[in-house]
Structure 1
Amino acid sequence: MDGNGTTPIHPPARRHARRRRGLTATAAGLAVALGLGLSSLPRGEAAASQDPANAATSQDAAGTSVSGDGTARAATEPRGPEQSGFPSAFGYSLLHPTAVPAGANDWSCRLGPEHPNPVVLVHGTFENRYANWAGLSPRLKEAGYCVYALNYGAAELAPLKATGDIPASAGQLAAFVDEVRAATGAAEVDLVGHSQGGLMPRYYIERLGGAAEVDKLIALTPTNHGTTLQGMGLMARAIPGADELLGTSCTACEQQIVGSGFLRDLNSDGGVDPGVDYTVITTVHDQVVTPYASSYLPPAGNVTNHTVQKYCLTNDSDHVDISYDPLAARLVLNALDPARSSRPAC
């Protein structure tokens, strides 16, 4: 039984082989991209991006001045095209690290009675707002939402973001939410996050006053209880000095390994606020958050845990591409607007 009370689904060996090939390709691509990103990042910028003291400065998460109504950022943000999958979106973002996904960051957007909360999209580790949301953002905009997306956890021109200290990144999210609320007049926002983008907002909600500003948190394959990284995380804990080495190159990575001090502290009181509605959307094919059920939050009246294979046994979305999966997108839309929900199509 998994953490959601359902029997885990074991796909055929043929699908396992395909997933191993996909994982190898993804890992190779990320390794190359990481080398490109780090080699192009000035030392001073890299150091500054990891400093928690910078989280509450007068600059936003993308490094541009905060105007209070988004006009300063809107004038400098390049717009990227809509994408149908993560690989093409990720490749585009390597060349355009500050790109905004289609449909996002229209600072003149006006809220309507059907969708009174703006939606803020929060990307994951080694990703960015464009790579993660170039598919879902335009779909949400088309559905009538005011959509906003930030970059965080790294220097402005680093294509691979969300590597910095998670509490500092939560401070950047808090500042961005304040700006969105000021621009739209909304009392609360809804957050949609992927991977670390589903975990980090919980720190903002629990520790930085976000509970008063967030109505819903919808998390795609979040690292809520950490990951073993297919056992590599546990191995790192067994090797003297390995933890420190991982934390030096990627603080957020160390903080997301199962059993980390950050996770123990965040989850010590249950990890959810009674005034926020939480939705978790996972896949049994998650090759990054392992085991996949560690994404789930403890059962509660304001917590809903989904696995996409519950609705479609043959769905083969994995950790990276779930934010481009139509079934997962339907679950996001259902969570944002339960009154107009519909069963996802397989």
Structure 2
Amino acid sequence: MTERKVSRSRSNRRRTRWAAVCGGLALSLTLGLQGVGLQGVAAAADRPVPPPPGRLLAAPAAFLGGIVHPEASPSGANDWSCRPTREHPRPVVLVHATWTNASSDWSMLAPWLKRQGYCVFAPNYGGAPGSPFKASGPVPESARQVARYVDRVLKATGARQVDLVGHSQGGGPTPRWYLRFEGGTDPAHPKRNKVHSLIGLAPSNHGVTASGVGTLTTELGLNPTVSALVGQAYADQMVGSEVNRRLDRGGDTQPGVDYTVIATRFDEVATPYQNQFLTAGPRATVRNILIQEVCPDDLSEHVSLSYDTNAAQLVSNALDPAHARPVRCGVSLPVLGG
């Protein structure tokens, strides 16, 4: 991919955006963080309802909670006695982002989906036990861990298929590797697929540049050094990595899978955001959604998109298109969510 020269005005806008992000995080830490306060329930409402407005500090609160309790399940997730209903026959497996964990990434979406009547599961993968910064290992190994987890969910629930909802790496290369190389799909017999849908929030499809940082480390040959410090997932997600070359060879999709991409134009990690979008191959469907085209004032960036109630309604619509509801566009801020 040929990188364009960034103008001085564009650089100034990027610095301003980063200042706002950092300022928001500093504010959240200064004010002190309350728990997210979302509790899962066993029974679903008669009809799905839009998510309640998020608390201003929900995302940073969950992040800090995930550091303190890195192996905890988010509320509403990992009830191994759950059995799917006729209305929601497929369990939902939430796949977290790089350097996060299930608790820090899914403390809003997991209980909300549980309230709607889904069986919700959220693994920790790609990191050492006790470490709060998971999904840092090699993408192929993480995909194998997700594969084993999905098999466990199918066996426990008796379901034939699951739906995957992922954030960043968890919505992009890891599940796509699982679908293609680790048994998630059967291209010759798509009805035998283990996965019905893949819904990605800011997925790192086709490689990222991290607002130019990744481009710099790639061009300087520093990706192995950086990965030695922060994990192989860093190098695996860069534009032009071997993982991305293998994934993109032969097309973006697998037969029989319904793909949804939810991106934000303010993404500072999975850049350029257009790299997140997929092209449908044979017997697959793709919906590429830029959230600002649905909610023009949505300011979510890469980190906060999993705590954006506007995005949450889009996830619900993708899981159950027959009962899709209009998005009630609310305020969602960088880092803080909403």
Verify: 1:238 aligned to 2:212, yes or no: no
Following superposition, the deviation at residue 237 of structure 1 comes to 1.8
Following superposition, the deviation at residue 345 of structure 1 comes to 1.5
Contact 2:204/2:270 (CA < 8 Å) preserved in 1?
Answer: yes
Select 1:134's aligned residue among 102, 107, 118.
107
Verify: 1:263 aligned to 2:244, yes or no: yes
Select 2:273's aligned residue among 277, 284, 292.
292
CA distance in structure 2 between the aligned counterparts of 1:25 and 1:91, rounded to whole angstroms = 17
CA distance in structure 1 between the aligned counterparts of 2:154 and 2:109, rounded to whole angstroms = 21
Other-structure match for 1:253: 234
SS in 1 for 2:315: helix
Following superposition, the deviation at residue 271 of structure 1 comes to 2.3
Greater mean alpha carbon deviation, residues 334-343 or residues 245-254: 245-254
Distance 1:332 1:130, change over 3 A: same
Contact 1:81/1:101 (CA < 8 Å) preserved in 2?
Answer: no
Distance 1:286 1:123, change over 3 A: same
Following superposition, the deviation at residue 24 of structure 1 comes to 3.5
Q: What stretches of structure 2 of length at least 5 have no aligned partner? A: 1-9, 28-34, 39-53, 186-192, 330-338
Verify: 1:121 aligned to 2:94, yes or no: yes
Distance 1:169 1:13, change over 3 A: closer
Other-structure match for 2:335: none
CA distance in structure 2 between the aligned counterparts of 1:148 and 1:22, rounded to whole angstroms = 33
Select 1:225's aligned residue among 206, 219, 225.
206
Paired amino acid for 2:296? L
Paired amino acid for 1:304? R
Distance 1:169 1:25, change over 3 A: farther
Distance 1:274 1:116, change over 3 A: same
**1:8-36 deviation per Cα after TM superposition (whole angstroms, max 9, x unaligned):** xxxx999967632244368999xxxxxxx
Say what the alpha-carbon RMSD is for the aligned residues. 2.4
Distance 1:25 1:265, change over 3 A: farther
Following superposition, the deviation at residue 234 of structure 1 comes to 1.4
Contact 2:202/2:261 (CA < 8 Å) preserved in 1?
Answer: yes
**1:43-76 deviation per Cα after TM superposition (whole angstroms, max 9, x unaligned):** xxxxxxxxxxxxxxxxxxxxxxxxxxxxxxxxxx
Distance 1:167 1:296, change over 3 A: same
Contact 1:80/1:99 (CA < 8 Å) preserved in 2?
Answer: no
Other-structure match for 2:18: 20
Verify: 1:166 aligned to 2:166, yes or no: no
Q: What stretches of structure 1 of length at least 5 have no aligned partner? A: 1-11, 30-78
**Given the two structures, how large is their TM-score scaled by the length of structure 1?**
0.78
Following superposition, the deviation at residue 324 of structure 1 comes to 0.9
Paired amino acid for 1:202? R
Paired amino acid for 1:302? T
Paired amino acid for 2:226? L
Distance 1:25 1:259, change over 3 A: farther
Contact 1:81/1:134 (CA < 8 Å) preserved in 2?
Answer: no
CA distance in structure 2 between the aligned counterparts of 1:261 and 1:25, rounded to whole angstroms = 36
Contact 2:36/2:108 (CA < 8 Å) preserved in 1?
Answer: no
Other-structure match for 2:183: 209
Distance 1:248 1:339, change over 3 A: same
SS in 1 for 2:147: helix
